[in-house]
Amino acid sequence: MTSTVLPGHPHIAYRGADLFIEDLPVAQLAQMHGTPLFVYSSAAMQEALAAYQRGFAGRKVQICYAMKANPSLAIVQFFARQGCGFDIVSGGELERVLAAGGDAGKVIFSGVGKTRAEMRQALQAGILCFNVESEAELEVLSEVAVSMGLQAPVSIRVNPNVDPKTHPYISTGLKGNKFGVAHERTLATYQRAASLAGIRVVGIDCHIGSQITEATPYLDAADRVLDLIEAIEAAGIPIHHIDFGGGLGINYNGDTPPAADDLWAQLLAKMDARGFGDRQFLIEPGRSLVGNAGLCVTEVLYLKPGEEKNFCIVDAAMNDLPRPAMYQAFHGIVPLQQHSEVPAQVYDVVGPVCESGDWLGRERSLAVCPGDRLAVLSAGAYCMSMSSNYNTRGRAAEVLVSGSTSTVIRPRETAADSFRNERLLAL
């Protein structure tokens, strides 16, 4: 039987006419669990993580999975078992880390809007570091820590004003973005941090965006961060770790991001050349670990011809997979079983939600019939994590595949699940 691996998806392939994920036919999983359905490959996640581990071989490094990409407990548990820490952006994400058996001492807390309650929660748990994003946050965090008789370990997130050349909604390192402290204010902010009773300076952080497909923005940002470290340490404030964030892109539609090990070889060469190669490094990959490990499986409900467009109406929708509606993002869409007898036509693949923005793919050539099933590719990141119950649609089930074994890691939600915490008016 011939096997054809899908580009960028090394553990997803056609064997003959049938699409497999690792050693399981995806159609079998759809038949067992229904659709819409998210399916993830553990081998793909392991392989993606291994590229980072190779890139950092022999260095002092902590890889912290950016769990906003996909916070499903079993996914978090998978990375915890590999020794990963976690990059979180809410108190709820910290609770997920602990529920999945993760180590609070390997947690970095990022985000521009941490509340006092979240600060207390993280300090009580004993997290590794707060990535502080503003001078105002620094003052509040010190107050909270002092009230608890503690010092908060802190790195300042620097906004280096480097263009990551990505979608504007996921760019985070330019002057017009809400994230981080301006490059010009960084030294003064560190000096203020060092003077506060509730703050212990431990590092510096820089994260310039997501779905970055070139090495140049990382290298440019690194130069600016290293310049800052020299200035900060010249002022008598030691920097113990350097956190370069995450953001490495994946192949959605012929994208060619550098491999993780190649990228970090370039960055580490720069560190070595400037005398920083022996520092502790932190890195926060998310999408690049899980994005191409996942599929969203959906059933074709109707084929609807039109004067200007043909529509392939499926049972997955923008509430299941919101990236196309939010970012006009591209996801490959392929059939679970290839037809030779059905002529291909060009369709917009759309869902049943009552919004014109409810589409999964534009102008796709597909040979399909009602009742066929499709796989939306590269659906492991920012899909299930951003899903909702809009139109009182239960969120999809999730399945994790390892070789020829599959495990349901989240059952399908019912309508009753979606309104369980609501209350009717009293009579």
Model confidence over 362-374: pLDDT tens digits? 999 999 999 999 9
The token pair at 91 is 């108190």
Residue 324 covered by a domain: yes
* Structure confidence at residue 176 (pLDDT): 55
Residue 423 covered by a domain: no
Handedness of CA 206, 91, 171, 133 (dihedral sign): negative
| CA-closest candidate to residue 291, choices 27, 4, 40 | 40
Report how far residue 100's alpha carbon sits from residue 196's, in angstroms, rounded to the nearest whole number.
34
Q: Give the amino acid at 13.
A: A
Whether 354 is catalytic is yes
pLDDT in tens, 193-203: 999 999 999 99
Report how far residue 218's alpha carbon sits from residue 216's, in angstroms, rounded to the nearest whole number.
5
Residue 12 covered by a domain: yes
Beta bridge partners of 402: 405
Beta bridge partners of 37: 297, 397
CATH code of the domain containing 156: 3.20.20.10
Q: Give the amino acid at 231.
A: A
Answer yes or no: is 355 a known binding residue: yes
Say which range, 61-70, 263-272, 378-387, has the weakest mean pLDDT.
Answer: 263-272
Last residue of a domain, one of 289, 317, 332: 289
Last residue of a domain, one of 266, 289, 312: 289
Q: Which residue has the tokens 């990059």?
A: 87
Q: Show the beta-strand stretches assigned E in 318-392.
A: 333-335, 345-350, 359-366, 373-376
Asked if 105 contacts 282 with a C-beta cutoff of 8 angstroms, the reply is: no
Answer yes or no: is 7 a known binding residue: no
- Kindly state whether residues 296 and 394 are assigned to the same domain: yes
| Residues 53, 55, 56, 58, Cα dihedral to 10° | 100
- Kindly state whether residues 33 and 46 are assigned to the same domain: no
- Kindly state whether residues 72 and 161 are assigned to the same domain: yes
Answer yes or no: is 143 a known binding residue: no
Q: What is the mean pLDDT of residues 136-164?
A: 91
Residue 425 covered by a domain: no
State in Å, rounded, how far the first CA of the chain is from the last one. 66
- Kindly state whether residues 301 and 274 are assigned to the same domain: no
| CA-closest candidate to residue 132, choices 95, 83, 179, 85 | 179
- Kindly state whether residues 114 and 248 are assigned to the same domain: yes
Residue 424 covered by a domain: no
- Kindly state whether residues 215 and 279 are assigned to the same domain: yes
Indicate the pTM of the whole model.
Answer: 0.94
Mode of pairing for the β-strands spanning 199-206 and 241-243: parallel
Residue 320 covered by a domain: yes
- Kindly state whether residues 231 and 283 are assigned to the same domain: yes
Asked if 142 contacts 166 with a C-beta cutoff of 8 angstroms, the reply is: no
Beta bridge partners of 302: 313
> Domain tally for the chain?
2
Handedness of CA 268, 271, 273, 279 (dihedral sign): negative
Q: What is the mean pLDDT of residues 42-69?
A: 95
| CA-closest candidate to residue 375, choices 8, 10, 3, 13 | 13
Answer yes or no: is 92 a known binding residue: no
- Kindly state whether residues 270 and 123 are assigned to the same domain: yes
- Kindly state whether residues 138 and 46 are assigned to the same domain: yes
* Structure confidence at residue 179 (pLDDT): 66
Answer yes or no: is 149 a known binding residue: no
Residue 20 covered by a domain: yes
Last residue of a domain, one of 268, 289, 310: 289
Answer yes or no: is 247 a known binding residue: yes
Asked if 303 contacts 347 with a C-beta cutoff of 8 angstroms, the reply is: yes
Under DSSP, the state recorded for 243 is E
Q: What is the mean pLDDT of residues 91-102?
A: 98
- Kindly state whether residues 303 and 329 are assigned to the same domain: yes
Residue 341 covered by a domain: yes
**Mean pLDDT score across all residues of the chain:** 92
| CA-closest candidate to residue 40, choices 293, 287, 335, 375 | 293
Q: What is the mean pLDDT of residues 98-115?
A: 97
pLDDT in tens, 160-203: 776 545 434 334 444 555 567 888 889 999 999 999 999 999 99
Write phi, then psi, for 81 (nearest 5 degrees): -65, -20
Q: Give the amino acid at 59.
A: R
State percent of the chain over pLDDT 70: 95
pLDDT in tens, 289-315: 999 999 999 999 999 998 889 999 999
- Kindly state whether residues 205 and 333 are assigned to the same domain: no
The token pair at 115 is 């509340």
Q: Which residue has the tokens 């691996």?
A: 5
* Structure confidence at residue 207 (pLDDT): 84
**Residue of 84, 129, 312, 354 marked catalytic:** 354
103-to-34, 85, 93, 144 alpha-carbon distances in Å: 35, 7, 13, 22
Answer yes or no: is 126 a known binding residue: no
Q: Which domain holds residue 188?
A: 42-289
| CA-closest candidate to residue 138, choices 209, 66, 195 | 195
Q: Give the amino acid at 273.
A: A
Q: Give the amino acid at 308.
A: E
Answer yes or no: is 40 a known binding residue: no
Answer yes or no: is 65 a known binding residue: no
CATH code of the domain containing 32: 2.40.37.10
- Kindly state whether residues 32 and 70 are assigned to the same domain: no
